[in-house]
Structure 1
Amino acid sequence: MTNTPSEPQDEQLMSELAMLREEHRDLDSAINALEGITAADQLQIQRLKKRKLWLKDRIIALSDQLTPDIIA
């Protein structure tokens, strides 16, 4: 089968997906570290958690774009 126009787009989406997953893992580590501090800034933790949720939603959306719909 020949290259279709969507293949470069798929590669770009996979690259973005990998970057988002990495940022999601980094935020998870940062949140865990901040929660371990007794005098942690709760507002900063809350902002990081919101960003992490946004990343999760974006990861799911990109994954859905890359996965073809199969009608059974």
Structure 2
Amino acid sequence: MDVKDSNGTILKEGDTVHVIKDLKVKGSSTVLKRGTVIRGIHLTDNPDEIEGRTDKVKGLVLKTMFLKKG
């Protein structure tokens, strides 16, 4: 099962991705700004989601439609 970013590029475990749209983080007042880099992603059982972390927020689950491979 392939996990693809917003452009259709296949994502692999440990890739670096960029956020393409400002995203509010549920349960927090933090906003992930467009262009935020997420390094070392972890693939989940759901092909539409990945796990990652930023300097400010740990344990993020992000939809792949808001990401592009960096």
Q: Fold match, TM over 0.5?
A: no
| Largest Rg, 1 or 2 | 1
Whose relative contact order is higher, 1 or 2, with alpha carbons under 8 Å and at least 6 apart? 1
Which has the larger share of strand?
A: 2
Which has the larger share of helix?
A: 1
